[in-house]
Amino acid sequence: MSSGSFYKNLIDETLICGRCGNCRSDCPVYQEIGWESAAPRAKISMARELFARQGDAKISAEYAKRITQCTMCGACTRACAARIDLQSLWKDLRTKLVTAGKAPEAYNAMIGNLKTRKNISNFANTTRLDWAEDLDELPDYLDQEQGAEIVYFVGCVSSFFPRAAQVPVAMVQLLEKAEVSFTTLGPEEWCCGFPMLAAGHGDEIAEFARHNVEKVRSLGAKTLVTGCASCYHVWSHVYPEILGESLGFRLVHATEMLSELINEGKLVPNELNKTVTYHDPCDLGRNSGVIHAPRAIINSIPGVKFIEMATYGEESTCCGGGGNLQGADQGLAESIAQKRIKEAAATRASIVVSACQQCEQMLEKAARTEKLPLQVMDVSELLLMAIDG
């Protein structure tokens, strides 16, 4: 459960639902599939039937599939007339799946990786800093430098997936140009734990939260910067609740840090004559309220023409990459991404930027599939491009 939520438990919340259907209108899964059984309203009705009325009744294969067909984007929670925290409800439903032995195999494989390697990939956590080999020079302060003012929490996608590695590479160059004192947790960075929540293993995230927080505290850093939108959401909304106390240091997303550095005159972009649009990651925009900072970065670049998509900010449409949907239904996730990239193309921008490496991977693949002449990149990459001229 996230902070600020009124969520009690699965059964109580299913009884609150008045079946108004508001939650259907912006649901990317319902829009794609079109069947009522894929709509949040139907999923909550079925949960009431199975768990409130019949006790712990058997979950059918069809319903199990529907439970996993969700990106955890939060559009339904925002729309719910009864103010039900539906994301918490979806997480609890997935826990029911795990208990019933009906979780998709992809969930089990990912949880296995998290337990043994502390990250979502098949790679050993000791290779966490391999992305830094793309830098011209490997800074010796990058691995757990005691006394650095800032810890940069890179995230699993950027650490282990080759395309996304360009994001921390850009971030390091920007922080160096701004002469910021920073380090990373190196091999001591564990997954933030968000994939566990989305896979119905929420009770196992506490170990990850305590480890990560303890490591940042032990380095004496004053600020933690997360590069990933979902990491930011978990650090800001879930960790304090698990710990029962505040983090003890400032938490910002990379876009907030970069925007601050521009305002302080420590990063000065040069002219870049491009038309740019921005995709709000659900966990950064709608679910965490960081909407202004990425736009401030884009608009600080002289020559850039910025155009919003048809849906943006809190109302932004999901890219399909959240909620472990790729593992459960790759085709559905990609259909959602293709719809979003068409929205981006409709702006006639040549570059679509985002602030989440998973969104960027989804949109880049969708642009290729749809044969759209769109460059997809992270805000940090755009800013670096402008600074380097």
- Rounded to a whole number of angstroms, the minimum distance from the CB of residue 166 to ligand SF4 is 28
Q: Residue 295 CA to chain centroid, in angstroms?
A: 18
CA distance 338 to 206: 35
Residue (of 302, 266, 297, 301) closest to 284 by Cα position: 297
- Rounded to a whole number of angstroms, the minimum distance from the CB of residue 14 to ligand SF4 is 9
Closest CB to ligand SF4 among residues 22, 300 = 22
* 147-167 exposure pattern, b = at least 16 Cβ within 10 A, e = fewer: ebebbbbbbbbbbbbeebbbb
- Rounded to a whole number of angstroms, the minimum distance from the CB of residue 34 to ligand SF4 is 13
Closest CB to ligand SF4 among residues 70, 174 = 70
Closest CB to ligand SF4 among residues 80, 129 = 80
Contacting positions for ligand SF4 (CB under 6 A): 17-23, 27-29, 40-41, 44, 70-76, 79-82, 84, 86-87
Closest CB to ligand SF4 among residues 24, 118 = 24
Q: Residue 34 in 3-state DSSP? A: coil
- Rounded to a whole number of angstroms, the minimum distance from the CB of residue 90 to ligand SF4 is 6
Closest CB to ligand SF4 among residues 32, 308 = 32
- Rounded to a whole number of angstroms, the minimum distance from the CB of residue 73 to ligand SF4 is 4
∠ Cα 44 50 52 (to 5°): 80
Q: Which residue has the tokens 């997360």?
A: 226
Closest CB to ligand SF4 among residues 41, 102 = 41
Residue (of 143, 118, 124) closest to 133 by Cα position: 143
Q: Which two tokens stand for residue 220?
A: 């004496």
- Rounded to a whole number of angstroms, the minimum distance from the CB of residue 329 to ligand SF4 is 11
Q: Which residue has the tokens 């965490």?
A: 288
Q: Tell which phi-psi region holds residue 345, choosing left (phi > 0), alpha (psi between -120 and 50) or beta.
A: alpha
